[in-house]
Amino acid sequence: MPKPIIGIGADVHVASGKRDRAFAYTTYVDALRRAGAVPVVIPPQPENAAAVIENLDGLVLAGGFDGDPALYGEKRHPSVEPMDVRRQENDLALARAARERGIPTLGICLGLQMMNVAGGGTLFQDIDSQMKTHIRHVSEPENRARHAVAIRPGTHLASILRENEMEVNSSHHQAIRNVGEGFRVTAEAPDGIVEGLEDPRLPFYVGVQWHPEDMVGETSAAKLFGAFVAAARDFAEARNRQAEELSPAGSMGA
């Protein structure tokens, strides 16, 4: 059985005096490989998002810096560290194209937030100043703080994880405010911060606020990536069957 091809939306690194780089952290690549997929990195090219998506079996929208609040009509908070605009345009275009075509998609941290914004939602730009919380949501990637999340029963995420509550890592200072059209909340922190969204109309369009790619060896991360790759495989098989049925050879064989 062929391995599904899963794209990872690339980040952009800019350094003075050097050429700009498009890249993806190897933790995402390794997590997908362990789950049985072939990962490929998608450099920023929003005008080609639809064409790129047509050649993929799944999509990962990865973590990163902040989105520009102008996307949802707000003035930028001083704490906002915006991602490169090329990446932002690419992530939004990929998120929309994948959702329109039903391509299995997993959003992680910023990826979850971009899925929500692409669907018309908004964000808390700075949790600490815009919400009351006792939870440390902001922490460094190399030493992420952890906290509990409650998984809502009856959601796709709940069927994957088979847990009502679990502990996750945390490295974000922004969070979902208004939920985008067509999404439902799947997980929440004890302070009410949204930790998961999904589109229940699609086989797999799921986002989480934590970083499962950095939870190597933990059952919940293996379940999430496993279910995502399985959905990508199912999507690829269904598309191939449809292509065979529509081909002249397939029609003659019928």
Q: Active-site residue among 137, 147, 156, 211?
A: 211
211 tagged catalytic: yes
The position carrying tokens 């997590």 is 31
Q: Active-site residue among 81, 140, 213, 245?
A: 213
Q: Active-site residue among 89, 109, 173, 244?
A: 109
172 tagged catalytic: no
Q: How many Cα atoms occupy the beta-carbon half-sphere of 194 within 13 Å? A: 26
77 tagged catalytic: no
Residue 11 identity (one-letter amino acid) = D
| Contact present, 171 and 138 (Cβ < 8 Å) | yes
Cα(212)–Cα(223) distance, integer angstroms: 10
What is the torsional sign of CA 215, 98, 206, 223? Answer: negative
Question: What are the phi and psi torsion angles at 166 (to 5°)?
Answer: -155, 170
Query: Which candidate, 132, 218, 123, places its Cα nearest to that of 169?
Result: 218
Question: Is residue 32 classed as helix, strand or coil in its secondary structure?
Answer: helix
Per-residue tokens: 94: 């990929």
Query: Which candidate, 102, 91, 93, places its Cα nearest to that of 60?
Result: 91
The position carrying tokens 């998984």 is 151
| Contact present, 123 and 68 (Cβ < 8 Å) | no
Cα(23)–Cα(241) distance, integer angstroms: 33
List residues with catalytic annotation: 109, 211, 213
